């Protein structure tokens, strides 16, 4: 749940496949669910192709996060344009997207995460976490972990 292995293998909006792991999460459960279903629609997956998903609460305490939910961006940061890039198509052509390059730069600068508006859910906010950049004082805790283990056994 907290490894980011899936994004390391497949990539995502903020990380290219094989580059580094990122944990994609949302600040509200509804946003996470809508993001997952919209992703399936984007790839035109049939119902039989949908993989099981588990929604769980995660408590994050991070000391260094870039907040892209604020409106006063520098002129060069074209977030609304960058987030609309078709990262799968661009990656399949052998290139990294601008969002992925920005995610890499944020991670390489030592930040543990990016707080950003959801592209798919109006008013939704996502948190992308780079586990390998978390400090010793940072926290990632799955809420209800004991109950979750019962269902995954």
Q: Where are the beta strands (DSSP E) in the chain?
A: 23-26, 58-61, 65-67, 113-117, 125-129, 139-142
Q: Measure CA 148 to chain center.
A: 21
CA atoms lying within 13 Å on the CB side of residue 114: 24
pLDDT tens-digit readout, 27-63: 998 888 787 777 666 667 666 666 677 778 899 999 9
Domain ranges of the chain: 5-152
DSSP helix, strand, coil percent of the chain (3-state; round to 5): 35, 20, 45
pLDDT at 4: 92
Q: Which two tokens stand for residue 142?
A: 């799955």
Burial 38-74, CB ≥16 within 10 A → b, else e: eeeeeeeeeeeeeeeeeebebebebeebbebeeeeee
pLDDT at 43: 65
Task: Give the range among 16-30, 64-78, 113-127 with minimum mean pLDDT.
Answer: 64-78
Give the global pTM.
Answer: 0.86
* 81 within 8 A of 102, measured Cβ to Cβ: no
């Amino acid at each position: 749940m907290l490894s980011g292995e899936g994004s390391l293998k497949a990539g995502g909006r903020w990380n290219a496949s094989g580059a580094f792991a990122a944990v994609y999460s949302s600040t509200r459960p509804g946003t996470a669910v809508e993001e997952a279903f919209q992703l399936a629609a984007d790839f035109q997956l049939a119902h039989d192709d949908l993989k099981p998903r588990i929604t769980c609460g995660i408590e994050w305490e991070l000391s260094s996060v870039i907040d892209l939910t604020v409106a006063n961006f520098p002129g060069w940061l074209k977030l609304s344009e960058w987030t609309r890039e078709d990262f799968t198509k661009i990656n399949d052509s052998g290139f990294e997207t601008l969002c992925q390059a920005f995610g890499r730069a944020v991670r390489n600068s030592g930040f543990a995460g990016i707080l950003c508006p959801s592209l798919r859910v109006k008013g939704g906010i996502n948190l992308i976490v780079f586990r390998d950049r978390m400090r010793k004082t940072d926290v990632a805790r799955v809420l209800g972990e004991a109950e979750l283990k019962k269902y995954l056994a």
